[in-house]
Amino acid sequence: EPSTETPFGDSDFVVVANRLPVDRDPDDENHGWRTSPGGLVTAVAPVMKAQEGAWIGWTGVADEEFEPFTIDGMHLTPVTLTSEDVLRYYEGFSNATLWPLYHDVIVPPEYHRTWWDAYVRVNERFAHKIAEVAAESATVWIHDYQLQLVPLMVRRMRPDVAIGFFNHIPFPPYELFAQLPWRDEILRGLLGADLVGFQRPADAANFRRAVRGRLNFSTKGSTVLVPAGEAVAAHVVRAEAFPISIDTPYLEELAKDPGIIERARQIREDVGNPKVVMLGVDRMDYTKGIRHRLKAYGELIAEGRLNVEDVVLIQIATPSRERLEQYKIIRHDVELAVGRINGEQADVGSIPVRYLHHSYPRDEMTAFFLASDVMLVTALRDGMNLVAKEYVACRQKDDGALVLSEFTGAAEQLTGAVMVNPHDIGNLKAGILEAIEMDDKTRARRMRQMRRKVATDTVSLWSKNFLAELNHLKHNPEAVVPD
């Protein structure tokens, strides 16, 4: 019997990410869910509330179907993953194939056809959900490497919607990307979007080069000319950089909170009130350069260039992807290194590394930022690195120094940091000493400059810019086709 319903859904603005911004909490009266605050939520929540918005993603719970629900004014539409999907699409193809490949093959990526099949299947599931909930001419914003096939799938089903994609991690150089057995499918998938955003101009350039090299499509500036293909009309795609940022006003507010300031003082006292407190905050991930950082620090102590009575390193490493072999290895290596340094370099009254394998509430994290004189961000490769920006936002007295790897997206923005090449242990040691010994005036000048940068470039501005550009492209497609 003919349906009187339109083939469209109700949402004018649809955010799509692997995870919904919630965690299970059976005690909570909100249908058993608690929102997990993060930069992306802050950035898109106002847009979702202003328009009829929806967020599509996985709940983090396998093998269970959930009905759509509303929490903090956001309409959430769960996508179901089976345990096998989690194994093959999420832990497998997303985190053991794409993640290492896109981070300069720091560990070897694994290529398995069964993982790829699951990736296609789950991407299709997301695309169908989008086609179902998106209103006519809606704006759809798809996030990250787990969903790179979704843009083309949605364009085929729903040519009326505006499709944006943002890649939160690096896009690798062509020579590395070319290893991927499914490289052409990934490129075609991304080119289903009207706008593909990357962290750095270099990531966008890597992508356009791969498109030219593999698909032979021509590019002009940041525009890719996509000819008509299987079930899609010819169109243009913009690929360019939109460096992500943080919710600066919120962090500045927290950093002024007397309770949090008091907690910071207490943390310093708990570690023995040394002259210098250094801090690392990372997910426990092999991309973050935690081992390199510990190696440099351990050598500085062993050589007597740092004194265990004067300095403490607090290393927070939050548990991450713990079922994956490479994550078991990095955790083991980090814990071995911490044990060695503390065993060899400590005396009974001082412990050079305070290692914390936990996650903390945002307030406590802010107290750690406030308690630390030197922040160490030594990633071997990182799309942006928000921790670096968060530290800067909290240092409202313009004290504190940031040691920052040149292999982070943040390095292009936080130019007042002490830049290091974490592969070069000598250089890393010199950077740590430079940060510790920097005179107050220089430290203040450099921090002030970085703080201005994060005060202007907030995550709200980032999403506003991305969505404005997407909207412009969809409504003036002829304006973006270069002669």
- Among positions 187-246, residues that touch ligand GDG (CB under 6 A) are 244
Which of 156, 283, 464, 474 forms a contact with ligand GDG (CB under 6 A)? 283
User: β-strand 418-420 against 401-405: which pairing, if any?
Assistant: parallel
Region of 80-88, 251-259, 377-385, 462-470 interacting with ligand GDG (CB under 6 A): 377-385
Buried b (16+ CB within 10 A) or exposed e, 138-166: bbbbbbbbbbbbbbbbbbebbeebbbbbb
Q: Classify the phi-psi angles of 472: left when phi > 0, otherwise alpha if psi is within -120 to 50, otherwise beta.
A: alpha
Distance CA 368, CA 364 (A): 6
362 forms part of the interface with ligand GDG (CB under 6 A) = yes
List C-alpha distances in Å: 455 to 195, 394, 447, 451: 26, 11, 12, 6
Distance CA 167, CA 169 (A): 6
| Tokens 């300069």 -> residue | 104
Residue nearer to ligand GDG on the CB measure, 336 or 356: 356
Which of 360, 419, 464, 474 forms a contact with ligand GDG (CB under 6 A)? 360
List C-alpha distances in Å: 214 to 175, 209, 481: 11, 8, 22
- Among positions 142-171, residues that touch ligand GDG (CB under 6 A) are 168-169
385 forms part of the interface with ligand GDG (CB under 6 A) = yes
Q: How far is the CB of 245 from ligand GDG (least distance, A)?
A: 9
Residue nearer to ligand GDG on the CB measure, 90 or 226: 90
Which of 122, 193, 314, 365 forms a contact with ligand GDG (CB under 6 A)? 365
Q: Say whether 429 sits in a helix, a strand or coil.
A: helix
Q: Say whether 433 sits in a helix, a strand or coil.
A: helix
First to last CA, the chain: 49
263 forms part of the interface with ligand GDG (CB under 6 A) = no
Q: How far is the CB of 15 from ligand GDG (least distance, A)?
A: 14
Binding residues for ligand GDG, how many (CB under 6 A)? 18
Which of 179, 219, 318, 350 forms a contact with ligand GDG (CB under 6 A)? 318
Region of 59-67, 212-220, 290-298, 357-365 interacting with ligand GDG (CB under 6 A): 357-365
Which of 9, 164, 289, 383 forms a contact with ligand GDG (CB under 6 A)? 383
Contacts of 289 (CB under 8 A, 6+ apart): 378, 379, 380, 405, 422
465 forms part of the interface with ligand GDG (CB under 6 A) = no
By CB under 6 A, name the binding residues for ligand GDG.
Answer: 168-169, 244, 281, 283, 318, 359-362, 365, 382-387, 390
